[in-house]
Structure 1
């Protein structure tokens, strides 16, 4: 087996895997009803699918003896921007109240800080005396 044949098989496998991921993302996009669950399918699965298609293009270019850097830049841009755009779309859905809002934190004054609630210092004072 020559390197060209192995490269062709690797390209074909990458294309099949990428296409399968993209089909799963499209089916999830069409099947889910809620905007937040709809958002999850194409952002996670689609990113991997497009990454595999770009990998197939890189393998094919390498098999032909060419260098291909454009696909690496596209992958880097995609992997950086897809989660950020998904986060912003989710925040818009939460703020416009088109989806179920997340539950509030149990104690609003201490949930993201290092300060302790008022009840805990009294318990510590009772154990020290």
Structure 2
């Protein structure tokens, strides 16, 4: 009885995770510049991957696999924002900012010309 409920719940969570991952993939393909693509990949991708790992934790009936899946979700939620920040910072430092759609550049106005980002 409880096993059937966990399998159905895991299936629903897996479908939700796959949907978020699909939305992230479409966002990476369709959005215009690096910053918006990175936003789609980091937000929807992390949620999609986390939900898929949560579905694995629900469907498997082994505590070791469920623990590894939960640790994977925690690792994903901790590392995805850091990676997105580093990609955005590297892109900001390398590319010409006049070609992007930024209206206000807060980093340029807060730093002195001689200081690194």
User: What is the TM-score when the length of structure 1 is the normalising length?
Assistant: 0.73
1:8 equivalent in structure 2: 7
Once structures 1 and 2 are overlaid, which stretch shifts more, 96-105 or 76-85?
96-105
Counterparts in 2 of 1:54 and 1:108: CA distance versus 1, 3 Å: closer
- 1:50 aligned onto 2:49: yes
The structure whose residues are more often helix, as a share, is 2
In structure 2, stretches of 5+ residues that fail to align are: 113-117
In structure 1, stretches of 5+ residues that fail to align are: 110-129
Q: What does 1:8-27 align with in structure 2 at a 5 Å threshold?
A: 8-27=7-26
Distance in 2 (alpha carbons) for counterparts of 1:88 and 1:94? 10
CA-atom RMSD in angstroms: 1.9
Q: What does 1:93-104 align with in structure 2 at a 5 Å threshold?
A: 93-99=91-97, 100=100, 102-103=105-106, 104=108
Runs of 4+ with >4 A deviation: none
Once structures 1 and 2 are overlaid, which stretch shifts more, 70-79 or 17-26?
70-79
User: What is the TM-score when the length of structure 2 is the normalising length?
Assistant: 0.80
